[in-house]
C-alpha cells in the first residue's frame, strides 16, 4: 500500500465550501483508510480524543465515498473531539472505528457524546463490526441510528446496553458511520466508554395524597438514567423524598410537580415520597357596611 501527497491549485475546490483557494493538500490512500486501529482492549475502555498519539495509533477512519471530507480530530475549547465535515454535492459515507474491543458473555454499557453544528439534518449510526472495512457485510449489530433535525449546541450523552449473549464472544469494533445528505454541516463525537454493567431494581413508593411515576419495582441497568415524576394531589405538596432512606432535594418542574433522576445506578435502590397539605389561606373578612 502506498500513500500519495497531492497538491491541487485552482480557483474553486469542488465538493467543498471554499472559494478562491490558493492550494489544497490532502492525503489519498488506496484503501481509503487513513489510520489503523490497534488492540484488542478489554473493558473498561474509554477515550476522549484528547491524546493525539492514541488517536493516531488506535483509531481507523474509512472514507467510503472517496471524497475530500472525512472524520478529523477537532478542538472544542479545552477539549478535543472528532468531527465530520459536510460535502456540498455528495452524501456522507464516512466511518470512524475504535480499536478492537474484546466482548465476552457479559452485559456491557456503551456510552458516547455527540452534538451538531447547525439545524441541518444529520444522519449517523453506531454499529458493532467484526472488521474495519466500512462494508455492511461486516456489521454484527446496529446499536443505534440517529437523525437529529435540530441544532444540538452542547454534547449530549447517549447510553446503550449490549446484553449478554447478544453477540458471540470475540473482538469487535465500534464504528460510527455518518451518512448525512449533501450540504449538511458538522457532526461531533466524543467521550466513548465501554464497561461491564449489571441489572438493578429501584423500588418506587409514595404515601397518601400524591403519585410517583413509574411506581413499584422498576428494573434498569447500571449507567442508564431512570427518571421519576412526583405529583401531589390538589391541595397538597411534597413533604419528603428519600433515596435509600436519605432525604434528598428534587427538581421542581412547576409549582408542585417534581422529578428525580438516577444517573449512574450501582446497586438496588429505593425512592419513597411523602406529601403534606398546603397551608390554608384565610380569607379576610369584608368590612361591615356602614349603617344608614
pLDDT attached to residue 20: 33
What is residue 287's predicted lDDT score, i.e. its pLDDT?
Answer: 65
Position 74 pLDDT exceeds 80 = yes
Quick: pLDDT tens for 225-283: 999 999 999 999 999 999 999 999 998 888 789 999 999 899 999 999 999 999 887 76
Residue-range domains of the chain with CATH:
31-196 (2.60.120.200), 199-277 (2.60.40)
- The model scores a pTM over 0.75: yes
- The answer for residues whose C-beta is within 8 angstroms of residue 177's C-beta and 6 or more apart is 93, 94, 95, 124, 125, 126, 127, 134
Residue-wise pLDDT for 177-220, tens only, equals 999 999 888 999 999 999 999 999 999 999 999 999 999 999 99
Q: So what's the pLDDT on residue 292?
A: 61
Per-residue pLDDT at 5 exceeds 70: no
Amino acid at each position: 500500500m502506498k500513500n500519495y501527497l497531492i497538491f491541487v491549485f485552482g480557483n474553486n475546490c469542488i465538493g467543498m465550501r471554499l472559494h478562491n483557494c490558493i492550494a489544497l493538500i490532502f492525503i489519498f490512500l488506496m484503501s481509503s483508510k487513513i489510520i489503523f486501529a490497534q488492540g484488542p482492549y478489554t473493558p473498561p475502555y474509554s477515550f476522549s480524543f484528547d491524546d493525539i498519539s492514541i488517536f493516531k495509533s488506535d483509531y481507523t477512519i474509512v472514507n467510503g465515498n472517496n471524497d475530500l471530507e472525512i472524520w478529523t480530530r477537532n478542538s472544542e475549547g479545552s477539549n478535543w473531539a472528532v468531527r465530520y465535515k459536510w460535502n456540498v454535492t455528495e452524501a456522507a459515507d464516512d466511518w470512524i472505528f475504535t480499536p478492537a474491543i474484546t466482548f465476552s458473555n457479559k452485559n456491557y454499557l456503551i456510552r458516547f457524546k455527540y452534538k451538531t453544528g447547525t439545524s441541518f439534518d444529520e444522519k449517523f449510526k453506531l454499529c458493532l463490526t467484526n472488521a474495519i472495512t466500512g462494508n455492511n457485510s461486516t456489521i454484527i449489530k446496529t446499536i443505534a441510528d440517529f437523525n437529529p433535525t435540530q441544532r444540538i449546541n452542547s454534547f449530549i450523552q447517549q447510553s446503550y446496553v449490549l446484553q449478554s449473549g447478544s453477540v458471540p464472544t470475540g473482538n469487535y469494533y465500534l464504528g460510527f458511520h455518518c451518512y448525512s445528505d449533501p450540504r449538511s454541516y458538522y457532526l461531533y463525537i466524543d467521550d466513548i466508554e465501554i464497561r461491564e454493567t449489571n441489572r438493578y431494581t429501584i423500588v418506587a413508593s409514595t404515601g397518601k395524597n400524591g403519585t410517583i411515576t413509574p411506581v413499584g419495582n422498576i428494573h434498569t441497568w447500571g449507567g442508564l438514567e431512570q427518571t421519576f415524576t412526583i405529583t401531589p394531589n390538589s391541595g397538597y405538596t411534597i413533604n419528603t423524598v428519600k433515596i435509600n432512606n436519605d432525604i434528598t432535594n428534587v427538581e421542581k418542574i412547576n409549582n408542585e410537580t417534581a422529578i428525580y433522576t438516577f444517573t449512574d445506578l450501582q446497586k438496588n435502590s429505593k425512592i419513597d415520597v411523602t406529601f403534606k397539605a398546603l397551608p390554608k389561606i384565610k380569607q379576610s373578612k369584608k368590612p361591615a357596611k356602614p349603617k344608614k
